[in-house]
Amino acid sequence: MEFQPTSSFTFVLFGGTGDLSMRKILPALYEAHRAGMLAASGKIVAVARHEEDRDGYLRWVNEHVKAHVAKSGVDENAWSSFVDRIEYVKLDLGKAEDFVKLRDAMQDLPGTRVFYLATGPSLFVPICRALASVDLNENARIVLEKPLGYDLRSSNAINDAVGEIFAEEQIYRIDHYLGKEPVQNLLALRFGNALFEPLWRREWVESIQITIAEELGVEARGDFYDNTGALRDMVQNHLLQLLSIVAMEPPHSMDSDSVRDEKLRVLRALKQIDPRDISKVAVRGQYHAGVIRGTSVPAYATEPGVKTDSATETFVALKVEIENWRWAGVPFFLRTGKRLADRVAEIVVNFRAVPHSALGSSALRPGANRLVIRLQPNETIRLYCLAKKPGEGMNLSSVHLDLAFDQFFKEGQMEAYQRLLLDVIHGRLALFVRRDEQEAAWKWVEPILNEWAASGKPKPYAAGTWGPAAASAMLAQHDTCWLEEEN
């Protein structure tokens, strides 16, 4: 789908001085502006508590946003016209008169109203109620960042309260992994080509791995992370959303509800884990001091804001099964963690080996044929197969076919937040999480959360490794291993 310049809009950014706004949201809006994808009349209204006037806020933006603009750098002419779009409103959430001031500031601004809540989830409901008190919830769209709640009950409480003010079709629950180019291309590969669909099922797939690994620790987010953990922070949203994209049935169209209906069917088909079996199919870990790329890093329990006796997990590995005809018996291995050996996000589809080989044992080993969809740091799709080595004899070697987007396509890639923000402005919901999807994910995750809350501490792993050995042992029970362990 080609993106056209948007219709007129007013984009209101709550948390306008926060880290997310500086690193992701404003850089994404700048890139859309530079590429001519935003209507000339569109305006951005940043909202925060800082005692700034517009000039002071623009100085803050110049200082903190430019460093996060894409590798192509800043075009000063485009930057100048971009910041001309920006207004600033100082707003105290506890003062009703400040929302009257916001309404007055928006009164003459054009087009569709988008409210982006780049704040903590505890502020979602107060902001929505305050917007409704001055009639700013009408003909508007609201974007909610994760995490949306701490468990199913708190998630439902937020959704219930927001749902009293905004209709479901006005609510955009953002998961930026769904906006990444390789995830979009996964849909294109599966549903735009006859090649993969016959193979995309239990008869031909041995196992699937989905990994989101980070080298970073909790940084300055110790207080938040110690009350959240990797299962809530990454599995309940990002990893289960990627799983649903990988495993979904072909939708009848790419409209918002067709895609999300199929994702929901996957989430509802997840085999519920018996609490007695959680230790066999779920591994949790916590990083200790170690070395990453030659630099010593501290243990999680010594990070600022973290309790010294914390039992919060910084690593999770899971074996997941989907109870339907397409995927019955195929293990899905999910993994995420902080302070791991590398920063990588990837989906690995391991196809079954040939049933008989006249060419030696190489053709019989698991993973001889596989598809690797790399989401970060470089976005590629790579198909592995076997070919004859040059020379005497029939000796096989692994080769691969690459779809490297930056080499094949001359157009620059669109960052995930850029795509998703344009979708909000255009009113496209397909890449946003519907409430029933979110509920299904929480229902599946909660037994694990409850069991871990009642059990001992996570398994230790040294920073700079790939997590606890138990995560590798879990895969070894299925005669497979994580991708990096094959090398």
Is residue 50 flagged as an active site residue?
Answer: no
- How far is the C-alpha of 97 from the C-alpha of 69, rounded, in Å? 35
Name the phi and psi angles at 233, rounded to 5. -70, -35
pLDDT in tens, 43-92: 999 999 888 899 999 999 999 998 888 767 889 999 999 999 999 999 99
Query: pLDDT band at 411, cuts 50/70/90?
Result: low
Is 255 marked as binding a ligand?
A: no
- Tell me the two tokens of residue 121: 């989830």
Question: Per the annotation, does 233 bind a ligand?
Answer: yes
The CATH classification number of 178-412+435-486 equals: 3.30.360.10
pLDDT (mean) for 426-439: 95
Q: For the segment 82-128, what is each residue's pLDDT rounded down to a tens digit?
A: 999 999 999 998 888 999 999 999 988 878 999 999 998 889 999 99
Q: Confirm whether residue 92 is marked as ligand binding.
A: yes
Going by pLDDT thresholds of 50, 70 and 90, the confidence category of residue 401 is confident
Tell me, which fold does domain 9-145 have in CATH? Rossmann fold (3.40.50)
Q: Is 93 annotated as contributing to ligand binding?
A: yes
For the cut 80, the answer to whether the pLDDT of residue 404 exceeds it is no
Report, as an integer, the average pLDDT of 374-382: 86
Interval 465-469 mean pLDDT: 97
Instruction: Tell me the three-class secondary structure of the chain, residue by residue.
Output: CCCCCCCCEEEEEECCCCHHHHHHHHHHHHHHHHCCCCCCCCEEEEEECCCCCHHHHHHHHHHHHHHHCCCCCCCHHHHHHHHCCEEEEECCCCCHHHHHHHHHHHCCCCCEEEEEECCCHHHHHHHHHHHHHCCCCCCEEEEECCCCCCCHHHHHHHHHHHHCCCCHHHEEECCHHHHCHHHHHHHHHHHHCCCCHHHCCCCCEEEEEEEEECCCCCCCCHHHHHCCHHHHHHHHHHHHHHHHHHHCCCCCCCCHHHHHHHHHHHHHHECCCCHHHHHHHEEEEEEECEEECCEEECCHHHCCCCCCCCCCCCEEEEEECECCCCCCCCCEEEEEECCECCCEEEEEEEECCCCCCCCCHHHHCCCCCEEEEEEECCCEEEEEEEEECCCCCCCEEEEEEEEEHHHHCCCCCCCHHHHHHHHHHHCCCCCCECHHHHHHHHHHHHHHHHHHHHCCCCEEEECCECCCHHHHHHHHCCCCCCHHHHC
pLDDT digits (tens, 9 = 90+) for 246-272: 999 999 988 889 999 999 999 999 999
> Taking the domains of the chain in order of start, what are their residue ranges?
9-145, 178-412+435-486
Q: Sorting pLDDT into bands at 50, 70 and 90, what band is 243? A: very high
Higher pLDDT, 196 or 304: 304
The pLDDT of residue 171 is above 70: yes
Nearest residue to 201 (alpha-carbon basis) of 271, 165, 250? 250
Residue 325 has pLDDT above 50, yes or no: yes
- Percent residues over pLDDT 70 in the chain: 95
The 10s digit of each residue's pLDDT in 350-371 is 999 887 777 766 666 767 889 9
Confidence of residue 487 (pLDDT cuts 50, 70, 90): low
Give the pLDDT mean for 27-50.
94
Out of 132-136, 235-239, 453-457, least confident range: 453-457
Known binder of ligand: residue 49? yes
Using CB atoms within 10 Å of the CB of residue 382, give its burial: 0 to 12 exposed, 13 to 18 middle, 19+ buried: middle
Given the residues 50, 64, 238, 252, select the one marked as catalytic: 238
Check residue 124 and give its pLDDT: 95
Tokens of 230: 């990797």
What gap in Å lies between CA 157 and CA 305, rounded to an integer? 27
For residue 1, the model assigns a pLDDT of: 43
Q: In which band, very low, low, confident or very high, does the pLDDT at 386 lie, cut at 50, 70 and 90?
A: confident
**Band of residue 219 on the pLDDT scale cut at 50, 70, 90:** confident
The count of residues in the chain is: 487
Query: What local confidence, expressed as pLDDT, does residue 360 receive?
Result: 67
How much is the pLDDT for 212?
97
